[in-house]
Structure 1
Amino acid sequence: MQETKPHIQQRRARFVVPSRSDSLLGNFTELIGGPLGRRSSPGAVSPGFFTVERVLIILTIVAALMSILIKGYCRVNGWHTPQQFYATCYSDFPELFSSRGLADGVFPLFDQKTLFEYPVITGLIAGVTAWLVPGHGASPDRILGYFDVNATLIAAMWIVVVLATARINRRRPWDAAMVALAPAIVLAGLINWDMWAVAMLAVGMYFFAKERPVLAGLFIGLGTATKLYPVLILGAVFLLAVRSGRLRVLFVTTLSAAVAWLAVNAPVAAANPAGWRYFFDFTQDRPAGYSSLWFAYNLVAERLRLSQLGPGAINALAMDMFLLACVLIAGLALTAPRRPRLAQLTFLIVAAFVLSNKVYSPQYVLWLVPLLALARPRWLDFLVWQAAEALHWAATWMYLGQISSGGAAQNNIDMPYYVMAVMLHMAVTAYLMLRVAWDIWEPHLDPLRVQGVDDPHGGEFNGAEDWFRVDLKSPASSVLPWRRVAAFSGASKSTGDAAQPEHDSLPSTRGEGERDG
């Protein structure tokens, strides 16, 4: 008779308390009595109305209102150049509403009379929100109404991003406060429609963490049809699939993402081929965009009377730089002593794309904020990075105010200071990449893995063993693509024995309660 195993009651996982796990936040709590006590039980005791998610929503709403208040001068006086730059209230919404025919009833991508330099879903959002504004023509009231409609929807998407980030890892929901309160989102969140793509990727990552790759791929594909960057997560999924041997999740996620992208793009491409293709042609042919490495180089080259880079040369250099970064990230992922987490690899790939891209608009920082909150939730590094991005944000508008007003340099920010702000934001982003890469190479420094978990964002990769790993100490014996090797070690104890993990004390994260940090 088969022996019946006793039922083991699982403990409810408690929250990781920020004031305990982050020394910077712990220091800030001294005025209110210090960090939360060790005998408290967050996550196990009902907080009443003020649950973590409700507090996060309140924080996001407050931050969204602050973001709208920053645009106060333009909301009252209109969006006019150069005043909108000097007042730091510029937004693409009023400009596109007037110049792309949206105010006159033109629907982007479906009306062949005009061209729209954005992907399909962004065009749909731009057209639908224009329909929601009553009246006709680009009157000041309609322009303000168009901005307010889009600002309201972006605030809703912001809440979606915060909730998805909090729910990806139920044990660390407070990490989403970085997204709710990010100064860079407050400053740049209402420039363009990027928050829609950020929300779709965040929801896709949530479903991926819950081991639902079809839904994850669906939202990744929709996000890619809004802004191209969400597709980069598939590179991280590919590396983890190779390392763990779980190729099915890669195929399912990629296939569903491709189907979702095609379902949105194919009808538009068939109805208006030139309008659909214009986004790709515009991206290929445009010169270096503001705040990119290449734009900064051309500014310095012009001042020093050196040869400048044209669109073709920039395209080639940007692609080579990004591919080199991807090769280095792949090497790190396949040689690290322990399999990287999904959020870590995604952050590195997206950050590499941001730094190498021919354009860096101030709102691109939105792409990285949720990824950093998942990859390395350390407030000190986060706030230093946000300060650098805020300085870059202000320098961008001051520089644009100078070139659009034609004023003397002594009354404006001069070009070298703008270039210094660009270099600062790039240097701090590169620093964050190095910190995340070092966490991958030294897993005991990883803010999540020190709590005894593996990859709560990784879905089917969470707790997976290694299937392919390059051991730099003994590469000839460790590159074994058709043999299973240990998850945390590249060598077996003896012939015929399964390799044992180096960190035996780390508990499994599947079906077991996690210890409180």
Structure 2
Amino acid sequence: MSTQTTGGTDNSAAPDHPSRSDGFVRGVSGLIGGPLGDHAAALDRPVGGERRFWTAVRIVLALVCLTMALHWVQKSPCQDGAWTNNVQYTRFCYTDVLALYYAEGLNEGKVPYRDHPVEYPVLTGYFMGVLGLPVHELGSEDPGLNQAMWFYNLNVLVLGALAVATVAVILALRRRRPWDAALFALAPALLLTATVNWDFLAIGLAAFGLLAWARRKPALAGLLLGLGGAAKLWPLFLFWPILLLAIRSSRLRAALTAIGTGAAALVVVNLPTALLYPTNWGRFLELNTERPIDWGTLWYIGRYLDGKFGEPDAGPFEWLSNNIPVLNNLAYALFFLACVGVAVLALRAPRRPRLAQLAFLVVAAFLIFSKVWSQQFVLWLLPLVVLARPKWGAFLAWQLAEVGYFVAFYGELLGTSTGTPVFPEGVFVLAATFRLTTVVVLCVLVIREILRPEQDAVRASYPDDPDAGVIDGAPDAPWVTRQRASVAAT
């Protein structure tokens, strides 16, 4: 019978060093002299009576700042908004932030939802307006001002600050394992997609929501996750693992407080716009209902295989692409079944899973079965996988797949725009399959570590779950104990 460690999380233990604990890093460290020695001076400990300036925390924060600066450079060819000769594809610098400044009427001073329907949830629309309308006013006073460039760079500053804040949250949640946050800070996907859209608004809110939950503030956690859900839908999915772990530990009051606060925040943000401008407010829901199979999804791969190995225009995936309501229901059903599977895993695992493990599985399942998987959605998984499974090997394989998909995606966009294929047929589908496969592999690895908690790197550093808040260190509910005793007896 397994038992949960009581007493909460103790942060006084020595920090983890990846060159010792991570097999991949230990192997690579041989190129520069091998793992950290037993007598080496730790970066976060005083030397000669003085504390080092370059601690692990400061190095990781500097790295994410460097990555965001390089991201800005990588997107700089598109900053002026004058996209001629398909520069947005040939230089890999396309961003919705610039494209939608015009498409959503911000350059004309249109107020989101009031004057123009917006294809995103309300908080993202508000965010666009708060940053875009002042730029339009400046442009009205100074006709020579490049509004697009000002708007994009203002977004880079705010979204970049949210990216740095997300790393700071990971560092706060992993005081014993500060180098885990380096996976996020150095992720190639962050470098390539950080400001393709406004996803970091939801990511930042979700990260702070998880921190509030870990700090045993369920009402604040619910508020932040609810606001995150008002920016992008996926932060609302995090309430499911919170509820499951609360059921297993008999800590329902805290979970229900968070869920209730989150629901209230979602209603408060959406209700005024829904009542005043119902048609424009509902555009997001309408688009998600009507959208066909998007590039790079499981359904897109299936439709391609229909055309290659089945009868043209007669395969099951091709049929689904022509029957969007059925496709919607099937995608929802598969995601629901995945959530049921996560529930079974959470309630029957030999040891209570960690919150980040279940959160990663839920969000990953949503992407795997969704009919839309935009290039920047990789950012949703970044903080969750770092918290769930901070191991470099599989993480880098996944990032390699994301980079390959990124390049193939832009090649496909360029080929569609010019009418001349950039890559041989099937390259884009192969890249999408590789990306999908690596996400599935990460899910399998996380599930394996849930079933074999002795393989969990985070549990090697913490007695229970540093993200679990009031659940951290709590014993399993009596019914779980009885169930496990019954299984052991048989």
When normalised by structure 2's length, the TM-score is 0.89
What is the deviation of 1:12?
2.9
Q: Is the 8 A contact 1:288 1:358 kept in 2?
A: yes
Match of 1:7 in 2: none
2:437 is matched with 427
Corresponding residue of 2:37: 37
Alignment partners' CA distance in 2, 1:205 and 1:268? 27
Q: Kindly indicate whether the alpha-carbon contact (under 8 Å) linking 2:11 and 2:175 is maintained by their aligned counterparts in 1.
A: no
* Structure 2 residue 59 is matched with structure 1 residue 52: no
Which range moved further: 440-449 or 26-35?
Answer: 26-35
Letter in 1 for 2:341: L
RMSD of aligned Cα (Å): 2.3
Instruction: State whether residues 79 and 98 of structure 2, in contact with CA within 8 Å, keep that contact through their aligned partners in structure 1.
Output: no
- Structure 2: stretches of 5+ with no match in the other structure: 1-9
| Structure 2 counterpart of 1:236 | 241
Match of residue 360 from structure 2? 347
- Seen in structure 2, the aligned counterparts of structure 1 residues 66 and 257 have a Cα distance that, compared at 3 Å, is same
Q: CA deviation at 1:24?
A: 2.1
Kindly state the Cα deviation for residue 331 of structure 1 after the two structures are TM-superposed.
1.6
Name 1:89's counterpart in structure 2.
93
Q: Corresponding residue for 1:335?
A: 348
Q: How does 1:105-116 map to 2 (within 5 A)?
A: 105-111=109-115, 114-116=116-118
| Range moving further from structure 2, 351-360 or 444-453 | 444-453
Give the AA of the match of 2:15: F
Q: Identify if the C-alpha distance between structure 1 residues 335 and 39 changes in structure 2 by more than 3 Å, giving closer, same or farther.
A: same
Structure 2 counterpart of 1:3: none
Question: Contact 2:81–2:149 at 8 Å: present in 1 too?
Answer: no
Q: Which residue identity is paired with 1:120?
A: V
Aligned match of 1:466 in 457, 476, 479?
476
Contact 1:337 1:490 in 2 (8 A): no
Instruction: Select 1:325's aligned residue among 338, 352, 355.
Output: 338
Return the alpha-carbon distance in structure 1 between the equivalents of residues 414 and 145 of structure 2: 22
Question: In 1, are the aligned partners of 2:162 and 2:204 still within 8 Å (CA)?
Answer: yes
Structure 1 residue 132: Cα displacement = 3.6
Aligned-pair CA distance for 1:344: 0.2
Match among 122, 127, 130 for residue 128 of structure 1: 130
Whole-angstrom distance in 1 between the partners of 2:485 and 2:453: 15
Partner residue in 2 for 1:26 = 26
The residue identity in structure 1 corresponding to 2:394 is D
Say whether 1:379 aligns with 2:379. no
Q: What amino acid maps onto 1:455 in structure 2?
A: D
Deviation of 1:48 (Å): 2.7
**SS of match in other structure, 2:256:** helix
Output the CA distance in 2 between the equivalents of 1:99 and 1:259: 31
1:284 equivalent in alignment to 2:286: no
Partner of 1:436: 446
| Partner-residue secondary structure (3-state), 1:262 | helix
CA deviations over 1:315-349 (Å, ceiling 9, x no partner): 01211211121122222112211110000000000
Once structures 1 and 2 are overlaid, which stretch shifts more, 285-294 or 397-406? 285-294
Aligned residue number for residue 104 of structure 2: 100
Query: Which 10-residue stretch deviates more, 205-214 or 33-42?
Result: 33-42
Q: Secondary structure at the match of 1:108?
A: coil
2:461 aligns with 451
Kindly indicate whether residue 410 of structure 2 is the aligned counterpart of residue 397 of structure 1.
Answer: yes
The corresponding residue for 2:312 is: 305
How many pairs does the alignment contain?
465
Query: Match of 2:173, as an amino acid?
Result: I
What's 2:7 paired with? none
Instruction: Name the stretch that deviates more: 92-101 or 128-137.
Output: 128-137
Return the structure number with greater relative CO, CA threshold 8 A, min gap 6. 2
Q: 1:79, 1:90 within 8 Å by CA — same for their partners in 2?
A: no
**Structure 1 unmatched runs, 5+:** 1-9, 469-479, 495-517
Output one character per residue of 1:112-161: Cα deviation in whole Å (capped at 9) or x when no partner: xx211001111011111112422049989221221111112111110010
Residues 16, 172 of structure 1: 8 Å contact kept:
yes
* Alpha-carbon distance between aligned partners in 2 of 1:197 and 1:19, rounded to the nearest angstrom: 33
The answer as to whether partners of 1:109 and 1:116 remain within 8 angstroms in 2 is yes
Q: Deviations over 1:388-415 (max 9, x none)?
A: 01101111111011112222x3xx1244
| Partner in structure 1 of residue 258 of structure 2 | 253
> In the alignment, what sits opposite 2:158?
153
- Structure 1 residues 285 and 81: alpha-carbon distance in aligned structure 2, compared to 1, 3 A threshold: farther
Look up the equivalent residue of 1:370 and give its one-letter code: P
- Shift of residue 13 of structure 1? 2.4
1:369 aligns with 2:374: no
